[in-house]
Amino acid sequence: MRRARPADAPPPLARARHVMALCGACGAGDRDEELLLCDICDRARHTFCLRPILPAVPLGSWLCPDCAPTSIIRFPLKQSKIVDFFRIEKGAEGGAVRPAKCGLSQDAKRRKRRSLVMHKKKRRLLPFVPTADRVRRLEQMASAATALTSSKMEFSNELTYVPSMAPISANQAKLEEGGMQVLSKEDKETIELCRSMLKRGECPPLLVVFDSHEGFTVQADAYIKDLTFLTEYAGDVDYLKNRENDGCDSIMTLLSPADPSQKLVICPDKRGNIARFINGINNHTPDGKKKQNVKCVRYDIDGECHVLLVACRDIARGEKLYYDYNGHEYAYPTHHFV
């Protein structure tokens, strides 16, 4: 059993076996190394019985769900505040949504006229289609702002580099062991189009909601086609060696070079975007895998690594978004994901 400990404290010692505490959720007292004790009421919870699940014993104090204060405060549905929060270009917000066009070159247009077989061999990313209703778009952005502020995060749609962490020079796609796929010219145009729409306040049709079992989750607020680009995984870039004992539950692999000491991860604990709240599947069960409707792909974009989240099948309105958080690594424990 463990209490959350101060960041500078030595590793906790297991409590004597004769002192038994039972998890208030599952009723079991086993796996005591993953059993947390509330600093107020002394009731216990397994890290994996909490919702959302904790990936590790947290640093600092920990309060059980009954003692923890409610921290979800709805972000105000005011255009001026939303414009400031998401740093939308002044004067660009509130207008009618223009039809999404990729600005295809003549070569791309000729490729589109090729046979269906050729088209299937070279499937391209699609830009997201923003909701036409301006008020509904504000509600979508307000839901994301609520989740970010409740999680004490600043909004960022980009990878950020902090002086005390990994420098931008460390993010070199050419260092990826086995190589990294390069984003095609056409797909890069799609990503640039989506970035420009975001700057105008034209967001993907996604809504962040709070679920008592899974915490903040993301659901489609409109029909989304297969291969639609949804968002880039954003946050602070750091070396994995600096984060091996980190309590953040959403650290994402960015670069996996041959030298393990140079492995990079994205840490969205202080800065990030809606990608932080898209949930992972339980990839140890067939039923869990059936939930997956989003794929996580790492690309070489202009020599740097980026992580993109893309729809891997058609997604109906109201359907929650899930992806395989582990990807090819299978290093993150997902056995207890709901």
Strands of 221-303 (E only): list them: 229-232, 235-239, 252-255, 264-267, 271-272, 279-280, 294-301
- The amino acid that residue 60 corresponds to is G
Tokens of 27: 């009723």
Q: Are strands 271-272 and 154-155 parallel, antiparallel or unpaired?
A: parallel
What is the DSSP code string of 146-164?
A: HHHHHTT-EE-SSEE--TT
What residues of the chain score a pLDDT lower than 50?
1-5, 11-18, 102, 115-120
Q: What pLDDT score was predicted for residue 116?
A: 44
Q: Beta partners for 59?
A: 5
Q: Beta partners for 23?
A: 44
Q: What pLDDT score was predicted for residue 302?
A: 97
Domains within the chain, CATH numbers bracketed: 21-70 (3.30.40.10), 79-87+124-323 (2.170.270.10)
Burial class (CB in 10 A: 0-12, 13-18, 19+), 335: exposed
Q: Beta partners for 310?
A: 229, 295
- H helices then E strands: how many in the chain? 6, 15
Q: Provide φ and ψ at 289, rounded to 5°.
A: -65, -25
- Tally of residues, the chain: 338
Q: Are strands 304-311 and 229-232 parallel, antiparallel or unpaired?
A: antiparallel
d(CA 321, CA 165): 30
Tokens of 82: 């939303």
Tokens of 226: 């297969």
Q: What pLDDT score was predicted for residue 97?
A: 55
Sheet containing 264-267: order of strands: 159-160, 235-239, 264-267, 252-255
